[in-house]
Amino acid sequence: MTVKERFLNYVSYWTTSEEDVETFPSTKRQFELAKVLEQELKDLHLSKVKVDENCYVYGLLPATKGYESKKAIGFISHMDTAPDAPGKDVKPQIIENYDGNDIILPGTGEILSVKDFPDLKTLTGRTLITTDGTTLLGADDKAGIAEILTAMEEIINENIPHGDIWIAFTPDEEVGRGTDFFDLDYFKADYAYTLDGDYEGEVAYENFNAAAAVFQITGVNVHPGSAKDIMVNAAAVACEIQGMLPEAETPWHTEDREGFYNLMHISGNIGSAELSYIVRDHDKTLFRERIDTLKSIEKKMNEKYHSDTVKLTVTDSYYNMLEVIEKHRYVVDIAEKAIQSIGLELVSNPVRGGTDGAQLSFKGLPCPNLGTGGYGFHGPFEHISVEGMENAIKIIKEIVKNPIDV
């Protein structure tokens, strides 16, 4: 089966995850694709194949004879799609020999424009797959799944010698829980790669340090006619807190390694209010300083009003994998060599987000991120080229061809 055929099959499955759901996985529909992938792994005659109770799919392509002493490698992608846009009833649009110009999305009439997505020009002449405008596409990260499985099939058919190759497909990555129940006692790789980026010639090993921060505000609600020196308007305090944060340190003012505070939700009235933020920075010292800034705001508000007016709760989400990868630089070196060996320009940009690989790295599995060839993730402008996916397959195979002795 070709990578294109696999990809178009996978995007037909509705696997959108959901935020703020206590069950795991957050949506049972992810099991439908998991069962399909389990069968595909069995059809390829991998061993250790299973879907566990938490919707993780695992499989092992055992080492070829004479390569049993090589370090075991892993490849990982996620099955869910982002809740930012509809993921049901995806209708892909296939454009052969793409001409490099703007594209009309037939379901809505919206324009996938070269101005907004300049990468489109680099895809001229390729077979392009877009949405019809009514849903996201699902290249994030069903392209990664298709690439891994197609690469495994080709490795088997071409008799490429290799050490143990572990495969895993995870649920709920898009809601930040993709590694919550990842079984590293079962998945016995020494190092791994997530395939979850865009440009296929990229290897990423820097990401944000991340936290969630929530201000809960308790006001004093009395009749406004007799409110002098008594009322504390919680909604107004919430606005005041937002106004104390640096105006330029938001996602729409920052790039590269610049961090930010992002107000995700605000609600309230006179009696109570709530502000929820995500806090991001590549530099851990600056990241901690951002948390300290929020704590100082909490202190100032409680000094200005009542001592129990504002309560701040901060929960760390993930950290920059760079501090782990620096100790295992060979993982990046192998990927960079593989990318260059197929004639692609090597790119390594700091990820302005997180990956399953970041959390796995801190759990003991060095795991940088590779590109899939897709762009415009999480919305109706998502697109990918068949040739980009084919390049990702070549990179996987080149990585496998360079095993490391234990």
Q: Which two tokens stand for residue 285?
A: 């010292």
Task: Judge whether 329 and 191 are in contact, CB under 8 Å.
Answer: no
State whether the Cα torsion 313-315-319-324 is positive or negative: positive
Q: Choose one of 297, 318, 339: the last residue of a domain.
A: 318
Q: Which amino acid is at 234?
A: A
Q: Tell whether 56 and 107 lie within a shared domain.
A: yes
**379-395 confidence digits (pLDDT tens):** 999 999 999 999 999 99
Active site residues: 80, 173
State whether the Cα torsion 199-203-208-211 is positive or negative: positive
Tell me what percent of the residues of the chain surpass a pLDDT of 70. Answer: 100
Q: Which residue has the tokens 């790119």?
A: 347
Q: Tell whether 189 and 269 lie within a shared domain.
A: no
**9, burial (CB in 10 Å: exposed 0-12, middle 13-18, buried 19+):** middle
pTM equals 0.90
For the chain, how long is the longest CA-to-CA vector?
A: 86
> What secondary structure does DSSP assign to 134-151, as a single string?
SS---HHHHHHHHHHHHH
* Number of domains into which the chain is organized: 2
- Could you list the beta-strand ranges (E) of 53-119: 57-61, 73-78, 93-95, 103-104, 111-112
Helix (H) or strand (E) holding 195: strand 191-197
User: Is residue 405 included in any domain, yes or no?
Assistant: no
Confidence of residue 62 (pLDDT cuts 50, 70, 90): very high
- The CA-based angle 40-41-45, given to 5 degrees, is 115
What was the pLDDT predicted at 350? 87
| Rounded CA separation 325/194 (Å) | 14
Measured CA to CA in angstroms, residue 41 lies from 30, 89, 152, 159, 380 at distances of 17, 25, 9, 17, 30
Q: Choose one of 296, 318, 340: the last residue of a domain.
A: 318
Instruction: Tell which residue, 150, 126, 132, 151, has the closest CA to residue 10.
Output: 150
Q: Tell whether 216 and 309 lie within a shared domain.
A: yes
The Cβ of residue 206 has, within 10 Å, a number of other Cβ atoms equal to 19
The Cβ of residue 24 has, within 10 Å, a number of other Cβ atoms equal to 13
Q: Tell whether 197 and 330 lie within a shared domain.
A: yes
**44-61 confidence digits (pLDDT tens):** 999 999 999 999 999 999
Question: Average of pLDDT values for 99-113?
Answer: 97
Q: Tell whether 325 and 281 lie within a shared domain.
A: no
Q: Tell whether 150 and 10 lie within a shared domain.
A: yes
Task: Judge whether 178 and 367 are in contact, CB under 8 Å.
Answer: no
The Cβ of residue 195 has, within 10 Å, a number of other Cβ atoms equal to 28
Indicate which CATH number applies to the domain containing 235.
3.30.70.360
Q: Which two tokens stand for residue 51?
A: 């879907």
User: Is residue 406 included in any domain, yes or no?
Assistant: no
**300-346 confidence digits (pLDDT tens):** 999 999 999 999 999 998 899 999 999 999 999 999 999 999 999 99
Q: Which amino acid is at 28?
A: K
Indicate which CATH number applies to the domain containing 16.
3.40.630.10
What was the pLDDT predicted at 352? 86
State whether the Cα torsion 43-44-45-46 is positive or negative: negative
Look up the domain containing 229 and give its range: 209-318
| Rounded CA separation 195/373 (Å) | 10
Q: Tell whether 197 and 219 lie within a shared domain.
A: no
End-to-end Cα, the chain, rounded Å: 33
What was the pLDDT predicted at 317? 87
Residues near 5 by Cβ (< 8 Å), separated by ≥ 6? none
Q: Tell whether 241 and 192 lie within a shared domain.
A: no
Q: Tell whether 374 and 311 lie within a shared domain.
A: no
| pLDDT value at 188 more than 90 | yes
Q: Which two tokens stand for residue 330?
A: 């060979």
Confidence of residue 353 (pLDDT cuts 50, 70, 90): confident
Q: Tell whether 47 and 123 lie within a shared domain.
A: yes
Instruction: Tell which residue, 23, 22, 51, has the closest CA to residue 35.
Output: 51
Task: Judge whether 22 and 175 are in contact, CB under 8 Å.
Answer: no
Query: Which strands form 310-318's sheet, in the order they lie side by side?
Result: 260-268, 272-281, 209-218, 310-318
Task: Judge whether 162 and 400 are in contact, CB under 8 Å.
Answer: yes
